[in-house]
Amino acid sequence: MKPENIKVACSNCNLRELCMPVGLAPGELQRIDDLVATRRKVKRRETLFRNGEPFTSLYAIRTGVFKTRVASEDGRDQVTGFQMAGEIIGLDGIVNDQHTCDAVALEDSEVCVMPFDRIEELSREVTALQRHVHQIMSREIVREHGVMLLLGSMRAEERLAAFLLNLVQRLHARGFSRSELVLRMTREEIGSYLGLKLETVSRTLSKFAAEGMVEVEQRNVRIVDPDALRRIVNSPGC
Amino acid sequence: MKPENIKVACSNCNLRELCMPVGLAPGELQRIDDLVATRRKVKRRETLFRNGEPFTSLYAIRTGVFKTRVASEDGRDQVTGFQMAGEIIGLDGIVNDQHTCDAVALEDSEVCVMPFDRIEELSREVTALQRHVHQIMSREIVREHGVMLLLGSMRAEERLAAFLLNLVQRLHARGFSRSELVLRMTREEIGSYLGLKLETVSRTLSKFAAEGMVEVEQRNVRIVDPDALRRIVNSPGC
DNA sequence: CGCACGGTTGACCTGTATCAAGCCGGGTGG
DNA sequence: CCACCCGGCTTGATACAGGTCAACCGTGCG
């Protein structure tokens, strides 16, 4: 039996607690298994979905990292988020039955494909799933509020410090180090997300390094003094 | 019978098509009426809910205008949106059962209070409502993507032009003029939303006026040349 | 091996913030 | 009824954060 044919099952997936509701009855858990239709591999730089494509499914990231980005009529684009294992992408497509952003893999990745009509069907019957879907969407709204605060009122150093702390915190929640991380995205992508130019990202990283708050070597970052970064984020900057 | 005691009924509310799903069966429509527990009046400058308060309900705006804002630990705050008749607020509270932002009335307003557990209950049975709730949340996510694009990559003129066009378009969808509008918020609130200082908002408005694109008198704004504003938004500015 | 992409750093420029002064209109109290 | 006051707004002068342009470097991929 080839690996691809192994029955996909949330019930024994080690990421379950990240992307699925907890405290399900055994019978409910079994039904959840039916949510995932297939898995799909997405290679680095390939898109999982693109702006304008019909919306059919939400995707739970199993492995790898994605960025989502929106574009305006004129060429500009904006990275709207970086997503990692256990996170759900594709929510933007629900409202008009088509995606309004691109999801691009930053490294070879794999996602669970969850057809949205199946999600709706099942969440009519499993209230914990219904609640969970609502929470996922609400969480995304709250996250974006935070990004708006960052983009609207923080200075470059504050933005980058907040970004690094957020990244390492999410990685730590997934069992990685609480101080070391590997940036899967370029300086330009970080800059797009933070509303800065790549040179500013680079300079600011260098500045943090010069002040002994982080060690940077290529895309490997070590958070030496997380409190100093926190102080920067919470400084009454302006 | 005092006005307050008139049975609240979505089924004969003229805003229904803005905040409720369309194409409901007669029986379903009747059940929707039960969603709205009460109405609530909120005077200018008062809050509908505040960061930290327990989440119980979503609110459909009947009359008036609100702003929502988030705050960081240090005093900074950021306006995350301006909401008007037919729009739904409170979605931020779902994920942690408490609100994470403040909703402040910009003028005397009235909202329909829709207890969220009742929404969840009913949307298990009325699939059009379920779909509708998902769409409302997805629409908010997409709107915030747009704001991120604006904050992350647009210049002051572009931001303000986009803001004015968005506002007048929403007002027009509600039966108001497509060219005249009354700003219900201060320059400072506009600035907070757009990531600008109030002086920049004022200067940019003056510049638009000097170039004959708009007429500004206090909070009354007349869009004289919407195409010029659109050109600014879509200019390959940077 | 070499090329191209990603990154760093420097010099300079500019858009927006900051600081400051003054205006306007509407509400309040004498 | 008028004078005053205050919040909201405008406008000018100046400062500075971050953008822009440019040169260069390292590295890893083809």
Domains of chain A: 3-150 (2.60.120.10), 155-233 (1.10.10.10)
Percent of chain B with pLDDT over 70: 96
Q: Do A137 and B142 touch (CB under 8 A)?
A: no
Q: Do B92 and A144 touch (CB under 8 A)?
A: no
pLDDT of residue A2: 47
Residue A224, pLDDT above cutoff 90: yes
pLDDT band at A26 (very low <50, low <70, confident <90, very high): confident
* A67: nearest Cα among A92, A51, A47: A47
Neighboring chain B residues of A236 at a CB cutoff of 8 Å: 74-76
Which is more confidently placed, A144 or B73? A144
In tens, the pLDDT along A43-87 reads 999 999 999 999 999 999 999 999 999 998 888 999 999 999 999
Tell me which DSSP letter residue B141 carries.
Answer: H
Rounded mean pLDDT, B186-214: 98
Neighboring chain B residues of A138 at a CB cutoff of 8 Å: 91-95, 137
Distances B209 to B150, B169, B186 between C-alpha atoms, Å: 22, 19, 18
Task: Choose, out of A55, A56, A67, A72, the residue to mutate when testing the contact with B (most B CBs < 10 Å).
Answer: A72
Q: Which of residues 143-162 of A touch strand D (CB under 7 A)?
A: 155-157
pLDDT band at A219 (very low <50, low <70, confident <90, very high): very high
Q: Do A141 and B78 touch (CB under 8 A)?
A: no
pLDDT of residue B193: 98
pLDDT of residue A23: 85
Which is more confidently placed, A41 or A30? A41
Phi, psi of B3 (to 5 degrees): -55, -40
pLDDT averaged over chain B? Answer: 93
Helical (H) or strand (E) element with B163: helix B156-173
* A138: nearest Cα among B101, B156, B160, B84: B101
Which is more confidently placed, A6 or A20? A20
Q: Do B92 and A138 touch (CB under 8 A)?
A: yes
User: With a 7 Å cutoff on the CB, does A206 touch strand C?
Assistant: yes
Our CA-based measurement puts residue A1 at a distance from the nearest CA of chain B, in whole angstroms, of: 39
Helix runs in B90-213, H state only: 116-123, 127-153, 156-173, 187-194, 198-210
pLDDT averaged over chain A? Answer: 93
In tens, the pLDDT along B127-155 reads 999 999 999 999 999 999 999 999 999 99
* 3-state class (DSSP) for residue A54: strand
Across A33-42, B4-13, B103-112, the highest mean pLDDT is recorded for B103-112
Percent of chain A with pLDDT over 90: 82
pLDDT of residue B1: 45
With an 8 Å Cβ cutoff, is A153 touching chain B? yes
